[in-house]
Amino acid sequence: MEKEGEEEGAAGVERGYPVEIRPGSTRIGWIGVGVMGGAMAARLLAAGYDLTVYARTPSKAAGLAGAGARLAASPAAAAAASDVVFTMVGHPADVRAALLDPASGALAALPRGGVLVDCTSSDPALARAVAAAARAKGCWAVDAPVSGGDVGAREGTLAILAGGDERVVAWLAPLLGRLGRATWMGAPGTGQSAKIANQIAVAGAVVGAAEAASFARAAGLDAATFMEAVGAGAAGSRVAEIFGRRMVERDFASGGFVEYMVKDLGMALGEESKKLRRRRRTTTTTRKRRGGGGASRRSAFPEAVSGNGGERGRETGDAGRHHRDREDEWVIIRRAPGVCGYASVAISM
């Protein structure tokens, strides 16, 4: 049966995608218009694509509506009027509800041959489930999480990590190309696995930039001059360029929220325990909630990392751990064995 399903799906690609994607003829649905989703949807609208938007908070879609997008009352309503439906929401539970809810989900109303493209950083297992459900209906699903933050979303320079049928990903090139650079990672779910790995690297790099800037400032150096100087050497990186500048300039406009990085690193630990079946010592996540002040889950990520969130505690440490004891915090501890014997750094949130 599985082989028959695969053969039917392959025929579906041939039947469903002979028509080239073009502005004015290809209908796009968009679900989720937050900091990232709103900017990405705006790029497709500006390119001339017919856009139908669903926003859980309709006021967030006012700018898109003013530019010509139609508003839908539900994900299903958006999908019914679309050939390709993008989702950019917060959490895996939001993805499941937006796509798979039998009454209001997008897949229930998506025309046969339609394509779901989930740009949310989500669970690889859920991506595989969505792809299977789409195939059963004669549709297709691509998991295409992105990296590059709000700047990349506005400028169309996102790194797009795509999992799914390679032919479908190639067919989507005109749309994905407006958003950034897409790389096909493999079968359904591999895009999400790649994004989780990306987030491990990003979290470590952001912590490193924050620790370096903090040390430089404590040593009496001008942090901005320091970051610019080392940026030309081995310490230079895209992460340091974006987040380091924001930390130095105290620019904490919300380009990415703390809770989403916590979610992503939590999935990294989940992937390791369920699939990889071995424990990595590069990422350990601990969640703490206490009453009081401090940086909240909705703080901008660089703000939380650079310690701008109302630190109240004292620094504590032992042979293998160093963290700030703070109220109302999310603490991500990244252990880095091999650095100064056994060093560790923390993102206190």
Check residue 314 and give its pLDDT: 34
| Whether pLDDT at 347 is above 90 | no
Question: Do residues 182 and 201 share a domain?
Answer: no
Specify the higher pLDDT residue, 348 or 98. Answer: 98
For the stretch 218-253, pLDDT in tens is 999 998 899 889 988 988 888 888 777 777 777 666
pLDDT tier at 179 (50, 70, 90 boundaries)? very high
Check residue 257 and give its pLDDT: 59
Question: Do residues 210 and 277 share a domain?
Answer: yes
Q: Residue 219's domain spans which residues?
A: 194-348
Check residue 277 and give its pLDDT: 53
Return mean pLDDT, the chain: 78
Question: Do residues 310 and 229 share a domain?
Answer: yes
**Catalytic hit among 195, 274, 275, 288:** 195
Residue 123, SS3 per DSSP: coil
- Domain termination residue (choose one: 145, 168, 188): 188
- Assign residue 273 a region (left: φ > 0; alpha: ψ between -120 and 50; beta: otherwise): alpha
CATH of the domain at 138: 3.40.50.720
Question: Do residues 29 and 175 share a domain?
Answer: yes
Helix (H) or strand (E) run with residue 346 in it = strand 342-348
Question: Do residues 239 and 297 share a domain?
Answer: yes
Kind of pairing between the strands at 140-143 and 84-87:
unpaired
**Mean local confidence (pLDDT), 163-189:** 98
Cα 332 from Cα 200, distance rounded (Å):
11
The structural domain count of the chain equals 2
Question: Do residues 148 and 255 share a domain?
Answer: no
Neighbour-count burial for 247-286, b at 16+ CB within 10 Å, e otherwise: bbeeebeebbbbbbbbbbbebbeebbeeeeeeeeeebbbe
Specify the higher pLDDT residue, 131 or 208. Answer: 131
Q: Which residues pair with 287 in a beta bridge?
A: 330
Question: Do residues 202 and 146 share a domain?
Answer: no
Question: Do residues 213 and 129 share a domain?
Answer: no
Neighbour-count burial for 308-330, b at 16+ CB within 10 Å, e otherwise: ebebeeeeeeeeeeebbebbbbb
- Domain termination residue (choose one: 145, 166, 188): 188
- Domain termination residue (choose one: 154, 188, 222): 188
Nearest one of 169, 106, 178, 167 to 143, comparing CA atoms:
169
Per the annotation, the verdict on 195 as an active-site residue is: yes
| Whether pLDDT at 86 is above 80 | yes
Question: Do residues 229 and 340 share a domain?
Answer: yes
Question: Do residues 202 and 229 share a domain?
Answer: yes
For the stretch 283-332, pLDDT in tens is 544 333 333 334 444 344 444 444 444 333 333 333 333 333 333 333 44
Question: Do residues 284 and 161 share a domain?
Answer: no
Q: What is the pTM of this model?
A: 0.75
Sign, Cα dihedral of 168, 163, 119, 204: negative
Check residue 274 and give its pLDDT: 59
| Whether pLDDT at 102 is above 50 | yes
| Whether pLDDT at 155 is above 90 | yes
Specify the higher pLDDT residue, 271 or 152. Answer: 152
Question: Do residues 265 and 176 share a domain?
Answer: no
CATH of the domain at 218: 1.10.1040.10
